[in-house]
Amino acid sequence: MSKTNRKREPDSLTPQEQKALEEDLRHFGYLLPTTDEELEAFEQIYGTTQVIFPEHLKDPQFLFAKSKHINYNDRVHLKKVSGISKNESVGNKKSDYFKKIVLAAEIANELHDEPTFGHKKFVKIQFLCEEVCNMELSTNYKKYAAGPLDAKQMYTIDAEFKRQKWFQAVPRQNFGFKYKPLENVENYKKYYSRYYRGQAEKIEIIINLFRKQKSDFCEIIATLYAVWKELSEEKTTIADSVLIKKFYDWHEQKHKFKKTELNTAIQWMKENKIVPQKTI
């Protein structure tokens, strides 16, 4: 097929931008993988099931032919124009699933030796990393007695850890579970550096803030963060007394915590900037 020489218009994508966009599209499953690394990442997210792809997905030029007036840096606008939205794309949800597993692996790798690290603390740190770092991953956190929780997530993480041979959840002698590193534990790091290179420093800060904290403290902070965010979205005045009332209203079991504990936790959150971004 002969190539047509076309003049580049001032607002079209540069070759470097086209290459970067193509790499992103291949990585997230919108174009076929062409290298071993892309294929490995693709299969981690989508499995190895054989799928018949439309012919135009094999050639990224179908996108560039219509992208002259798209600013590559405006990712949200690009998704709207190309018909790919975060809420509607199955591919994004699958991608988010694996991203969350990789984030969980980083948390487990950093904290598995800590005697206070179990399922409850794990869930709360994962929730806070996603929220404080504004990751906007597909989530299903709901209100449970112990705070915000995606009921299926912890079981999914444990199963995926075992399948990937990264970690295994094993019972502690007294109570709960701990995480034992397996033979392929180092493999998650190549994905972590790719997915979270812009957020790694903040994630590390959050992990270290909770490294020595007990699970009850993590529960308090995660629940306070959730009610704080709820109030912020409602544009309600966020006084400490309102936060505490909403905390106790969350579930009757929250009354096991003393008001002095909550006041201390709120001040700790402010000092360490573990609060919804709109309120910082």
Tell whether 70 and 102 lie within a shared domain.
Answer: no
State residue 76's pLDDT score.
Answer: 35
For residue 213, being part of any structural domain is answered with yes
- Give the residue among 214, 204, 200, 217 at the shortest CA–CA distance from 258: 217
pLDDT at 154: 81
Same domain flag for 98 and 211? yes
Structural domain contains residue 270? yes
In a domain, 10, yes or no: no
Let me know whether 101 and 197 are in one domain.
yes
Structure tokens at 258: 């003393």
Asked whether residue 105 falls in the same domain as residue 223, the answer is: yes
Domain containing 70: what range? Answer: 15-84
Give pLDDT, residue 88: 41
pLDDT value at position 214?
94
Which of 46-51's residues contact partners 24+ apart within 8 Å by CB, and which partners? 46/91, 46/94
**Rg (the chain; Cα; Å):** 22
Q: Residue 7 is encoded by which pair of tokens?
A: 């003049």
Q: How far apart are CA 11 and CA 71, in angstroms?
A: 8
Q: Are residues 116 and 205 in the same domain?
A: yes
Indicate if 58 and 174 belong to the same structural domain. no
pLDDT at position 92 is 58
**In the chain, which stretches have pLDDT less than 50?**
1-3, 8-10, 48-53, 55-58, 60, 62-63, 66-91, 279-280
Residue 239 lies inside a defined structural domain of this protein: yes
One domain, residues 107 and 136:
yes
**Do residues 149 and 68 both lie within one domain?**
no
Confirm whether 232 is domain-assigned: yes
Query: Does residue 188 share a domain with residue 79?
Result: no
Show the DSSP H helices in the chain as ranges.
15-27, 36-46, 61-64, 75-81, 90-111, 119-132, 153-164, 188-195, 200-210, 215-233, 240-250, 259-272
Q: Are residues 104 and 156 in the same domain?
A: yes
66/36 same-domain check: yes
Closest CA to 29 of 92, 84, 87, 81: 92
Last residue of a domain, one of 46, 61, 84: 84
> How much is the pLDDT for 68?
43
Contact 215, 125 (CB under 8 A): no
Do 168 and 224 lie in one domain? The reply is yes
Report the number of distinct structural domains present in the chain.
2
In a domain, 230, yes or no: yes
In this structure, which amino acid lies at residue 45?
Answer: I
- Residue 11's φ and ψ, nearest 5 degrees, are -100, 15
pLDDT at 176 (0 to 100) = 81
Neighbouring CB atoms inside 10 A of 33's CB total: 16
Q: What is the pLDDT of residues 124-163, one digit of tens each?
A: 999 999 999 999 887 778 778 888 888 778 888 999 999 9
